[in-house]
Amino acid sequence: MIIKGKKREVQLRKIIIIGLFLVGTLSTALAQDEQKQVPRSVTIIQAGTLMAVAGEEPLKERSIIIEDGKIVDVLPSYRTAYEDAEVKIVDLKDKFVMAGLMDMHVHLAMAGGPGKDSGDVALAGVKNAYKTLMIGFTTVRDLGATDDTIFKLRKDINSGDIIGPRILAAGQIIGVGGREDGRECNGIESCRRTTRDMISNGADWIKIYASCSGGRLCSNKDGPAVFFDDEIGAIMAVAKKYKIKVAAHTHPRDSALQVLKFGVSSIEHGSYINDEAMKIMIRDGVYYVPTVSVMDLLEDVVAKGENPPEMLAHDQAFLDNNPGNIFKAYKKGVKIATGTDAGVVPHGKNYREVERFVELGMTNADALKAGTINSAELIDMSDRLGTIEKGKIADIIAVTGNPLEQIKDIENVIFVMKEGHIYKSRKD
Ligand SMILES: [Zn+2]
């Protein structure tokens, strides 16, 4: 058939359109077929004891269904199948299963001192991240690093190239400058600039050094608040602009009261917070991260007795005051989250914070809550983390024993899952 002129053109176009349509239909059909050939894959954790929500009665004989890194269901009894999915069973029938622990005050990538360079910082970060995850801490807030390596570490952990916990990082600490006092904030302009720089470098949080470090005499009860009000105001204004929260390191009474006026989100250490500070913290929902694990270090230092007498007295004052003061804040209802200050104390022993909480009088359930639900709330992730419930990210750990009965069992982590991936799975 010979088709001429315009009619021929129309006819040809029709053939092409029909052809394209057929190819399209065929490829859609093929894609659907391919999809059918890849079955759904879920992991079923059979949990003997499940503390789904810290503070609530643990559940017995449950199955946690995990798909694409998320908890899609928590069902009664031990399941071996789920809908039409291919299943992988994890048998934790004789274990205590709970949400991944969280540490709100670590320094993963910190390596200072003579002969140390950026390579040491990077290696420290990789090693410490691994140690932290393997003991069941699936999320950390990093509150102070030597340099910006922590942001690279965060990126490589997110991509799966390095094994470690989920990191929210502050980068370098902002302080008044000089010695160990952090990135410089001296006067409004300088404070604005430094805060902006930290945020543009990748900070998820801002950490300010509102008093001397605990290792210096000026961090005593009556020690100075080191910033001027307008300096903190400048930092807070920039942070607020970018919707970034601020954590404040403070030991003395007055530096805590100062930063609380400006709406910080957490008080770190807070050794000498008084009744007035506690009242403001309750009113404003400010979290207290008392880093009580540091007591381990202070007890050692005092026992050795090698420091000058005034320093020993300074450390002894912390030991005498802090446990009682933290317990007082807890009883009053100040919100408390776990934070070890790992980096100052050893990495890989982050469970000490939970144990220390119990030693100072907290219930086991509340100590575990501080390390899960409260920490998730502090970092605005309680819709995704902190409990084992439908829709949450699958950060799940298991221990031998029962930390609700004996808190030391929190050290026996034999299983670690982060975002649905299993990083540790041992029998005992
Ligand atoms: Zn610290």
CATH number at residue 333: 3.20.20.140
Is residue 398 one of the residues assigned to a domain? Answer: no
Q: Name residues whose C-beta falls within 8 Å of residue 181's C-beta, 6 or more positions apart in sequence.
A: 175, 209, 213, 226
Q: What would the pLDDT profile of 123-161 be if each residue is shown by its tens digit?
A: 999 999 999 999 999 999 999 999 999 999 999 999 999
Cα distances (Å, whole numbers) of residue 242 to 212, 216, 379: 27, 33, 15
Percentage of residues of the chain with pLDDT beyond 90? 86
* pTM score: 0.90
Based on the number of CB atoms within 10 Å of its own CB, is 392 exposed (0-12), middle (13-18) or buried (19 or more)?
buried
How much distance in Å is there from the Cα of 252 to the middle of ligand 1?
15
How much distance in Å is there from the Cα of 134 to the middle of ligand 1?
21
Domain co-membership, 165 together with 82: no
How much distance in Å is there from the Cα of 144 to the middle of ligand 1?
7
With tokens 């250490």, the residue in question is 269
Distance CA 99, CA 194 (A): 36
Q: What is the pLDDT of residue 210?
A: 96
Q: What is the pLDDT of residue 1?
A: 43
Structural domain harbouring 307: 101-385
Beta bridge partners of 345: 342
Domain count, the chain: 2
Of 107, 102, 72, the C-alpha closest to 87 is 72
Distance CA 15, CA 246 (A): 65
How much distance in Å is there from the Cα of 115 to the middle of ligand 1?
22
Domain co-membership, 352 together with 204: yes
Distance CA 78, CA 218 (A): 57
**Cα 227 from chain centroid (whole Å):** 27
3-state helix, strand, coil in the chain (%, to 5): 40, 25, 35
Is residue 62 one of the residues assigned to a domain? Answer: yes
Residue type, 128: N
Helices 229-241, 188-201: crossing angle, 10 deg rounding: 30
Residue 367 has pLDDT above 70, yes or no: yes
Domain co-membership, 57 together with 46: yes
Per-residue pLDDT band for 3 (boundaries 50, 70, 90) equals very low
With tokens 């009860």, the residue in question is 221
Is residue 82 one of the residues assigned to a domain? Answer: yes
Distance CA 400, CA 255 (A): 42
How much distance in Å is there from the Cα of 322 to the middle of ligand 1?
16
How much distance in Å is there from the Cα of 333 to the middle of ligand 1?
24
Domain co-membership, 326 together with 364: yes
Mean pLDDT over residues 84-90, rounded? 97
How much distance in Å is there from the Cα of 249 to the middle of ligand 1?
8
With tokens 């469970």, the residue in question is 351
The CATH code of the domain that includes 48 is 2.30.40.10
- Residues by chain with Cβ below 5 Å of ion ligand 1: 341
Exposure pattern of 329-353 as b/e (b: 16+ CB <10 Å)?
Answer: bbeeebbbbbbbbbbbbebebbbbb
Residue 426 has pLDDT above 90, yes or no: no
How much distance in Å is there from the Cα of 106 to the middle of ligand 1?
6
Is residue 231 one of the residues assigned to a domain? Answer: yes
| Mean of the per-residue pLDDT values of the chain | 92
Q: What would the pLDDT profile of 167-219 be if each residue is shown by its tens digit?
A: 999 999 999 986 666 789 999 999 999 999 999 999 999 999 999 999 999 99
Mean pLDDT over residues 85-113, rounded? 95
How much distance in Å is there from the Cα of 384 to the middle of ligand 1?
26
Domain co-membership, 159 together with 199: yes
Distance CA 101, CA 372 (A): 5
Q: What would the pLDDT profile of 280-337 be if each residue is shown by its tens digit?
A: 999 999 999 999 999 999 999 999 999 999 999 999 999 999 999 999 999 999 999 9
How much distance in Å is there from the Cα of 310 to the middle of ligand 1?
23
How much distance in Å is there from the Cα of 276 to the middle of ligand 1?
24
Residue 29 has pLDDT above 60, yes or no: no
Q: What would the pLDDT profile of 276-286 be if each residue is shown by its tens digit?
A: 999 999 999 99
Q: What is the pLDDT of residue 79?
A: 98
